[in-house]
Amino acid sequence: MNARTFLLLAGLTAVFGVVGYLIAGQGGMLIAFLVAAAMNFFAYWTSDSLVLSMHHAQPLAPNDAPELYQIVADLARRAEIPMPRLYLMHEGQPNAFATGRNPEKGVVAVTSGLLEILDRDEIAAVVAHEIAHIKNRDTLTMTITATLAGAIGMLANFAMILTPSHNNREGGGVGGIGAVILMLLAPIMAMLVQMAISRTREYEADKTGASICGNPEALATALQKIEAYAQGRVNLTAERNPASAHVFIYNPLSGAGADNLFSTHPSTQNRVTRLMALVSSLAAPVPTGSPWRGRAKSDASRTRRPWG
């Protein structure tokens, strides 16, 4: 976890503490936190099966995609994590995500559209980004974030039913008008911090992924291609399940793409700018024998895809 994520989590914790004390006192804070923790840590333990089922992802066996398997295995070895399970989503929109509560349970899922559109280097770079999420344990970070944000939302609901006299007995001190203000502002503050943490984790996965594959330029071009094609292909499954949008490398929801306070993903241009700044520092060649380098210059190698 990098420093910015830590500071954002600390800020979210502070919001929870202050809002909780003012609205519901120590007892209300405890109830809200325990309920939110139970809900979100259940999702944490079942995150891989839930999101894979949600997006109709099918497992890929080594014989189904031998070259893609080799790419993933080599990248996992370079990242020093166990080989993640590999899944395919039959979806025309190019995209990918990673899930799993720890590196031992890691999963990488890619869409058929991603495999059709990107070349070998770009596919490897996208997989490296997803492996970076697994290596950085971002599923755990986002679960903690969701727990705190959910608890703040519950406290805001408490503000409608708890009376000022009850608050005073419990140690809180907010009146009726203050409760309404907190009810409106607290969830918005929590959501903004939650989205900021999500954007921070994407930047960090870009950086770590570029280091793993040794090719930040390939990840930059992959993101540009994904954005260009994704804008013309609606992912109906993602539209029906918008809560899962943050796990993807590119926001799969229509109309997404701006790097603003209400976005779960940084803008592609900002990500590309940061990645290109890494080119000189990661200029060391990938070791000979890596399955995604050394053959991309010929037209024949460009048309070959690392599956089947």
DSSP letter for each residue of 164-200 = HHHHHHHT----HHHHHHHHHHHHHHHHHHHHHHHHH
**Residue 227 annotated as part of some ligand binding site:** no
Give the SS3 label for residue 109.
Answer: strand
3-state helix, strand, coil in the chain (%, to 5): 65, 5, 30
- How far is 100 from 109, CA to CA, in rounded Å? 11
* Residue 122 among the catalytic residues: no
Please name the residue that has the structure tokens 């950086």. 207
**Residue 246 annotated as part of some ligand binding site:** no
Structure tokens at 80: 């020093």
Total Cβ atoms within 10 A of residue 306: 21
Q: Which of 104, 116, 122, 130 is catalytic?
A: 130
Structure tokens at 285: 């060649």
**Residue 202 annotated as part of some ligand binding site:** yes
Measured on CA atoms in the order 174, 175, 178, 182, is the torsion positive or negative?
Answer: positive
What strands, in cross-sheet order, belong to the sheet with 107-111?
Answer: 58-59, 85-89, 107-111, 96-99
Residue 259 half-sphere exposure, CB side, CA atoms within 13 Å? Answer: 12
- Binding-site members for Zn(2+) are 129, 133, 202
Which residues carry out catalysis?
130
- Binding-site members are 129, 133, 202
